[in-house]
Structures are given as C-alpha cells and as structure tokens.
Structure 1
Amino acid sequence: MKITLKAARVNAGLKLIEAAEQFGINKDTLSKYERDSSNVPRSFFINIEAIYKIPVENIFFGPQSDFFRKLKTA
C-alpha cells in the first residue's frame, strides 16, 4: 500500500519545517510537493528514503487529491 508524501513525513515524526531543513528546501516548497509530488526534482527524490526511512516505492507520487480520490473508489 502506498502513502502520500505528507503521510511519509508525519510517520517519520517530522514537522514540515524540520523535514524541509533536512531536504535543504523552503517549507513552502515542501508543502507544495506534498500537495502535488508529480514533479519533484531528482535532488529531492533521492533523499526521501534517507530522511523518511521509507522506500520510495511505497510513496504515491502525484496530486494528493488523486490519491484520496482513488481511495474512495477502491
């Protein structure tokens, strides 16, 4: 089962600003990625496993609204 980028952050026990600092990006940028992770840059993508301690295969990449829409129809 896949989870959203935001859920991965929360499961890692990180606040938005803490995670953004670890990724080396602004908290507003991370918030944008959490809403729609379909176009995250490679530099961000390669750090996900190390920071969130979850395989990238378990993270849903795309608009967060699509993730929740798919859950409702499943």
Structure 2
Amino acid sequence: MEMKITLKAARVNAGLKLVDAANKFGVNKDTLSKYEKDSSNVPRSFFAKIEEVYGWPVENIFFGPQSDFFRKLKTA
C-alpha cells in the first residue's frame, strides 16, 4: 500500500509556512488554506506544481476533504 499524505502534511514536511507555500504556488494564503481543508477541486495549474514545490509525487497526495483522510485512517 502506498503512503498518502494530505496537502497540509506535504507542506509541513517541505518545511514551508502557509504564506511561503502560497507564494510559491502563486495563490493567496487563504486559498491555499482552503485547498488544504478540501483538495477535491484544486485547479490543474496548482496540481502541476505540487511535486516541484513540496517534493512529493502527486500520486502520494490525498485529494479530497481532509476530514475524509482522517476518517479513512481511523478505519484502516
């Protein structure tokens, strides 16, 4: 089973503060915060930069509501 992490975990693991990561993605920090809470609808332009900014393969990022990620962890 491959390990998946949330967008927030990817940012934290990359050692980036919310505002610094938002600047690298070219989005407002509030927008990035919204994506971290629910990454179901991130735009393709953002999606394409994830590996470059965070150093995590996109296929290892969980996309969806953060609450679903933690709910799945509890039942695993």
Q: TM range, normalised to the smaller chain?
A: over 0.9
- 1:9-58 superposed Cα distances (whole Å, 9 cap, x missing partner): 00000000000000000000000000000000000000000000010010
Partner of 1:54: 56
Partner of 2:4: 2
Matches within 5 A, 1:1-74: 1-74=3-76
Paired residue type of 1:42: R
Structure-1-length-normalised TM-score: 0.99
Give the C-alpha shift of residue 6 in structure 1: 0.1
Structure-2-length-normalised TM-score: 0.96
Q: Give unpaired runs (5+ residues) of structure 1.
A: none
Paired residue type of 2:47: F
Partner Cα distance (2:40, 2:13) in 1: 20
Q: Give unpaired runs (5+ residues) of structure 2.
A: none
Percent identical among aligned pairs is 84
